[in-house]
Amino acid sequence: MRKVLVIHYSQTGQLNRLVGSVCAPLQHQADIQLDFLALQPVTPYPFPWPFVRFFTVFPETVLQIPQPLQAPDRDLADKYDLIILAYQVWFLAPSLPVSSFLQSSLAQQLFADTPVVTLIGCRNMWLMAQEKVKLHLQRLQARLVDNIALVDKCGSAASFLATPMWMFTGKQQARRWLPKAGISEQDIAAASRFGERIKQRLQVDNTAITAPMLQGLQAVTINEKLIASERVGNHSFSIWARLLRKLGPENSLRRKAGLMVYVCFLLTLIVTVVPVTALAKKLLAPLTKQRIAIQKRYFAAPSGE
């Protein structure tokens, strides 16, 4: 009997649908035990998000400061043949419930010497979040064998409005003139191909999974225009997160005042630095072609584009 554990946390339900699609081929297999662990914060995060509340979790998310989680509501096996870790991206980092879990004693027990497939559902920026997850997996002595990243394909400019409106209203298409936010239902349904390949590998023999299973399936797509933007944003977020933490605890007036300054700075950063960086990369593309190709291969690993 092959044992697979799926660890996930979703606010909108989109990631849960993605998990369901990927895991569909694994279900109802006599030789595969499929367990699900839905992470639950002790203090639930709201959806839709109140505007200020959304930004109050920014410092803890960026700095990955663990928050209390509820104990699992089901028994788990002592050892799994594969863990699928599904997560959202918050502020260029894994969502706070996921980063909190990865720093728990239970994660230390489950992940040690275990192959892992990461499954990401987000707007468009996930590279820096995955780098943080890689560090957690290394510390836990887990083996990252594959990564799947599905993103919103309506375009960066459109999703810049559509996704926040979804977060703040709870409506995936908050206005008629906005595109529907999120990963397309067609892409979610097509994600079952990853589960089919995983099922084949699990059933071929009982040996440990040590190599990528999803190469050639377009598990990820690297947008080279966003590589530099993510790095700049990640550096900026780290500075601001430390500053805001020093202003006071989550609900303090000092932090809220600092957050308003930060939001103005963030909007300015997005409408100035991001497009300027993208333009500079386009102009310099002939000179940086080889370096960009190396970066794309690195971030696409281990599954590849």
* Residue with the larger pLDDT of the pair 215 and 283: 215
Residue with tokens 């206005």: 175
Q: Which of 222, 241, 260 is the last residue of a domain?
A: 222
Q: Residues of 76-113 as b/e, b for ≥16 C-beta within 10 angstroms?
A: eeeebbbbbbbbbbbbbbbbbbbbbbbeeeebeebbee
The mean pLDDT of 79-89, rounded to a whole number, is: 97
Q: Which of 201, 222, 243 is the last residue of a domain?
A: 222
> Rounded to whole angstroms, how far apart are CA atoms 39 and 41?
7
Q: Are 63 and 245 in contact (CB under 8 A)?
A: yes
The mean pLDDT of 85-94, rounded to a whole number, is: 97
Instruction: Verify that 188 and 290 share a domain, yes or no.
Output: no
Instruction: Verify that 132 and 257 share a domain, yes or no.
Output: no
Total domains in the chain come to: 2
Residue 305 lies in a domain: no
User: pTM here?
Assistant: 0.92
Instruction: Verify that 117 and 254 share a domain, yes or no.
Output: no
pLDDT reported for residue 222: 94
Instruction: Verify that 262 and 196 share a domain, yes or no.
Output: no
> Rounded to whole angstroms, how far apart are CA atoms 104 and 258?
30
Q: Which of 186, 203, 222 is the last residue of a domain?
A: 222
Q: Could you read off the pLDDT of 173-197 as tens digits, one per residue?
A: 778 878 887 899 999 999 999 999 9
pLDDT reported for residue 274: 66
Under the banding of pLDDT at 50, 70 and 90, the label for residue 270 is confident
Q: Could you read off the pLDDT of 120-163 as tens digits, one per residue?
A: 999 889 999 999 999 999 999 999 999 999 999 766 666 777 88
Instruction: Verify that 70 and 194 share a domain, yes or no.
Output: yes
Instruction: Verify that 173 and 233 share a domain, yes or no.
Output: no
Q: Could you read off the pLDDT of 227-260 as tens digits, one per residue?
A: 888 998 899 899 999 999 999 888 888 888 898 8
Average pLDDT over the chain reads 91
pLDDT reported for residue 253: 87
* Residue with the larger pLDDT of the pair 10 and 282: 10
Instruction: Verify that 61 and 176 share a domain, yes or no.
Output: yes
pLDDT reported for residue 267: 80
Domain assignment of residue 175, given as a range? 2-222
Instruction: Verify that 193 and 230 share a domain, yes or no.
Output: no
pLDDT reported for residue 138: 98
Residue 82 lies in a domain: yes
